[in-house]
Structure 1
């Protein structure tokens, strides 16, 4: 074969291959055109719908949690509008500032992709955001440089900062998600009473937990199409539902009273070097709680406030001689005694081989039943208890609320301990007459005394006000006749007069009962002391009951309730009389004789 034949053969081979390739490419192009035509003619709507669906996304509109306010409308807890700042690191890496984009060609004029510059990419975004978020630009740049398309840059950002970010032109790079921040303007005042929230925004402990359903709102939503960089495409919203914010909760607590009571307790704890102290202030006629305080210093919203209930509802103790008011009320109501019945009372007595003593040694005293209450005689109560059946002793303790939950619903509340009379031993059946052998809390004790001040009618306590401003689920019950309640009040007023040097409220008559009880010291012995006082004022026109309880006071003058808790009561009582401008009391003229 010659050279010309060889070249001719190669040329023919090349032409054949070219023709084959051309035919193949033509067929591919024809198939593509056919597929395109098919899609346009038969699947165009479906594909368009799929594309639209891929761009259409739902976005949650967060509901705000309701406020908690005091009886005067002062805010105790509220949720503030806040935002979480979200970044798309991939979009941040490709960020070009407007000044680097050519208006005619749209190209990078700063060389961001070929040289390092602080104006471009993640560093440029960080440079813009850092002053607004008050963060270090390098730290912010690190958060923007992680892999993926989602990174949280900051939480609890204010609306002002959010608006400033919106002016930076970072749509598609930075987004702001609505959230909220729970704040407690006076969180140091009612830490455990208010409680806090968990990571999901649900109430934990206190009012936040008790009223969680009412406080929690219902989230809304909106559905719209978004662009490639995550920005909303105007005019594409298809569905929306506005969020419904949670309802506000109004307490019966008066912030001013709560603050004063808390301060009085803290001062007393320091003065007496006590383990703790609690106090309750309650309106007599309505059973509304105006103050519920203790000496714990948990701040609302803190971890401590979420796990520790208030001692005012959780701590139980033997009330000591305050319990005598309940026993005497039952005796009078059942006709076992009259308030002026006469007794000759020694300082000790033995019944069923059990010895009972008064707190001080004394000669046999000629006291009426009112005098036994005034002088807080354990021996006198045992003597008066003759003919007062065990079942009645139990029934009246129960009717007055001992061993029963208050009904407030606060988490951590203890209902105390009151065993059935069939389980009482020979000693317990008599110690219950003078406030030992059972355990109560400050709320129960306060309402028992309020029942006496309320002419013998027991009302469930309330700390939450309904929408109409009235307490909820109120079912009052008569425990003793009004005459019986008045006679017990009269004897309690004689008690208060005995302690005028330490617990007088100048210008006002007081009806009160003191208590002192040995309690467990934690090591199995009775080395602990409870000193308490519960009083009604004014005695001539009952408005308030104040109960003060102090654990393990160290007082040089003594540990008795009238010497420790009484002065705290008087301090709180003076404040209440001034704050509510209560008229001064007339002089007492109807005292029942305490001696014969």
Structure 2
């Protein structure tokens, strides 16, 4: 070093400058070498890790929501493949289209053009010009949306795979990409609309059966961790962790879409024919409690906002059953031994009973009717007279045993359990009006199951609307409700069924099914109108078909139909549904009726 300094001191000015510059460059080289050594040997591992972290992505592998199917395997609701189109505005800001005919286009094997002409812009404007026509969006609005420094903007949700492929053909990888999503679609528009309900934007069931079965239908998402290239693609061999998604289970209903479709048509036509405000219907398997159809006349599409906010009227609507309630009273009278079906009464058309006046629906003279005849002729006066020794507690007990005043086993959203007050709350009139279906309210499901109890020889089954669930492994598991309770003896049920067959014969001109015996009961009850007063009526009709070998129970109820009486209005719709069922399921014709109980004496 001393020798170097002596050399510099004895050198000329030019030489000294050269030597000084050389020393400076040497020092810079030494510093760079030191930094390189530090980066390679000291910081290399951390730098490499940082680069790896920047390239690493964790992608959610979305599970598909299970399907909802009818009893025959017809798909009623399913999730289909869709994509959310995502933009990266920060990357878009540096996007430059590749001009067709350029050397770059030849090298890359693609170029960008709009209607065969150069894009004529860069950045967000260029991407918008290319993308807007494919997505059907406004070019200027899309350009404004993509102009920014964020890394994630949803351009459009739920585009089809076909549209996604068209976007891929635009060669916008790295600035625009598609995230796998799904869309819930429903098969038949307004068929079972509110009953099926719908899902929210996150795919969660929020109404109807979609809500009831949400946990079953919802799958478990998986994930994949990998390193991505500049275009967002997976770098081969870099997947470090992966967990497969598990799709939700399929739910198979007891509902038959063919039957439900026909019921919907009958209700819609019936409302138009009779000028009714609405109509509802239930079709139930008499022996198992399975619901084959549950419909109303409302025109609400499954999955729509209205379906998400409105529960099915067939589930929510409650009404007084009217004279259908006499079926319950007769069953209770016979089961307790308070009366026999052959007991004889002289029945006027009106009566003063313990300070309360009761009357029948139409004037008649003093009729000599048995208890069977009282039910067959639907006499309010006769029911009051026959129930003199039928206590209030017994009246309440059998209404409860037949399922009134309590929810069904279905657990459907918005389901009304009706109103049935305890005997202690009955006034001097209500204690007798409950004998003929007034003073309490029911829904159509409850009423149908009560009549099905008679059809099923006195045993009330828990109703079912979900038949089975099937996992991704294909294993099917039955989830039918199997609870059953004997309500009345088989002999009692047979005598009530006999009286109901007399009722059906009285409506033979309007509500019959050729070749088949029917057991039924009609009802007509006042309900509150828009002004809150009892200015409206509900006409209902519940029938067992065939009466000699019960297969189905059908209930129809309408509000304010022209024609008023349930046997004439709702009964005619029941007959149409019954005829369809007999044909569809190829039910053998009924045997001739024998040994009908006497109605008069």
Greater alpha carbon shift after TM alignment, 120-129 vs 186-195: 120-129
- Is the contact between residue 65 and residue 78 of structure 1 (CA under 8 Å) also seen in structure 2? yes
Please give the alpha-carbon distance, in whole angstroms, between the structure 2 residues aligned to 1:134 and 1:307: 30
> Displacement of 1:17 after TM fit?
9.5
Selected match of 1:574 from 567, 575, 579: 579
Q: How does 1:319-468 map to 2 (within 5 A)?
A: 319-467=321-469, 468=476
CA shift at 1:559, angstroms? 0.8
Is the contact between residue 98 and residue 105 of structure 2 (CA under 8 Å) also seen in structure 1? no
Deviation string 1:358-387 (CA, Å, 9 cap, x unpaired) is 111111110000000001011111111111
Q: How far apart are the structure 2 equivalents of 1:230 and 1:22?
A: 48
* CA-CA distance at 1:171 after TM superposition: 2.0
Describe the superposition over 1:557-588 as per-residue Cα deviations: whole angstroms up to 9, x where unpaired: x3111111111111111111111111111111
* Equivalent residue number for residue 95 of structure 1: 96
- The alpha-carbon distance between structure 1 residues 240 and 98, as it changes in their structure 2 partners (threshold 3 A), is farther
Provide the residue aligned with 1:213 in structure 2.
215
SS in structure 2 at match of 1:501: coil
2:122 corresponds to: 121
Q: CA–CA distance in 2 between the matches of 1:513 and 1:370?
A: 13
SS of the equivalent of 2:319 reads coil
In 1, Cα distance between equivalents of 2:590 and 2:293:
24
- 2:482 maps to 474
Match status 1:153 vs 2:158: no
Q: Is the 2:97–2:119 contact (alpha carbons within 8 Å) kept by the matching residues of 1?
A: no
Equivalent residue number for residue 287 of structure 1? 289
Alignment equivalent of 2:312, drawn from 310, 313, 327: 310
Q: Of 495, 504, 507, which residue of structure 2 is paired with 1:499?
A: 507
Matched residue, 1:3: none
User: Is the 2:61–2:223 contact (alpha carbons within 8 Å) kept by the matching residues of 1?
Assistant: yes
Structure 1 range deviating more: 481-490 or 239-248? 239-248
Judge which range, 448-457 or 92-101, deviates more.
92-101
8 Å CA contact retained: 1:91, 1:229: no
Distance 1:76 1:594, change over 3 A: same
- Distance in 2 between residues matched to 1:435 and 1:542, nearest whole Å: 24
For 2:389 and 2:19, how far apart are their aligned partners in 1? 126
Q: Do 1:65 and 1:79's aligned partners in 2 also have CA atoms closer than 8 Å?
A: yes
- 1:6 counterpart residue number: none
Partner of 2:75: 75
Q: CA deviation at 1:589?
A: 1.0
> Corresponding residue for 1:534?
542
1:55 aligns with 2:55: yes
User: Does 2:594 match 1:589?
Assistant: yes
Q: Is the 8 A contact 2:100 2:112 kept in 1?
A: no
Unaligned runs of 5+ in 1: 1-10
Matching residue of 1:181:
183
Return 530-539 or 91-100, whichever deviates more. 91-100
In structure 2, C-alpha distance between the alignment counterparts of 1:133 and 1:104, rounded to whole Å: 25
Using the alignment, how far apart are the partners of 1:318 and 1:269 within structure 2? 20
SS of alignment partner, residue 236 of structure 1: coil
Query: 1: distance between equivalents of 2:339 and 2:235?
Result: 86
Are 1:517 and 2:525 an aligned pair?
yes
2:565 pairs with one of 542, 560, 563: 560
Local SS of the residue matching 1:253 = coil
Per the TM alignment, residue 239 of structure 1 is displaced from its structure 2 partner at its CA by 1.1
Q: CA deviation at 1:104?
A: 12
RMSD: 2.7
Q: Displacement of 1:275 after TM fit?
A: 1.3
* 1:41 and 2:46 matched: no
The structural deviation recorded for 1:540 is: 0.3
- Determine helix, strand or coil for the equivalent of 1:500: coil
2-structure distance, mates of 1:104, 1:181: 37
Task: Give how far 1:148 is off.
Answer: 3.3
In 1: Cα distance, 2:441 partner to 2:240 partner: 62
Is contact 1:281-1:545 (8 Å) kept? yes
Q: Distance in 2 between matches of 1:583 and 1:297?
A: 35
TM-score of the superposed pair, with normalisation by structure 2: 0.90
The structural deviation recorded for 1:465 is 0.6
Q: Alignment partner for residue 223 of structure 1, among 220, 225, 235?
A: 225
For the residue of structure 1 that corresponds to 2:532, the secondary structure is: coil
The answer to whether structure 1 residue 544 and structure 2 residue 552 are counterparts is yes
Asked if the contact 2:220–2:245 (Cα under 8 Å) also holds between the matched residues in 1, the reply is yes
In structure 2, the partner of 1:7 is none
Say whether residues 1:508 and 2:513 are aligned partners.
no
Change beyond 3 A, Cα 1:90–1:486: same
Comparing 253-262 with 530-539, greater Cα deviation is found at 253-262
Superimposed CA distance per residue, residues 526-551 of structure 1 (whole angstroms, 9 cap, x where no aligned partner): 11101000000000000000001011
User: Quick one: distance in 1 between partners of 2:175 and 2:105?
Assistant: 24
Q: Is the 8 A contact 1:205 1:307 kept in 2?
A: yes
Further displaced range: 126-135 or 525-534: 126-135
Once the two structures are TM-superposed, the CA of residue 187 in structure 1 deviates from its matched residue by: 2.6
- Structure 2, gaps ≥5 residues long: 1-10, 470-475
Separation in 2, partners of 1:479, 1:459:
10
Return the offset for 1:170.
Answer: 2.7
Note closer, same or farther for the CA distance 1:13–1:501 as it changes in structure 2 (3 Å cut). farther
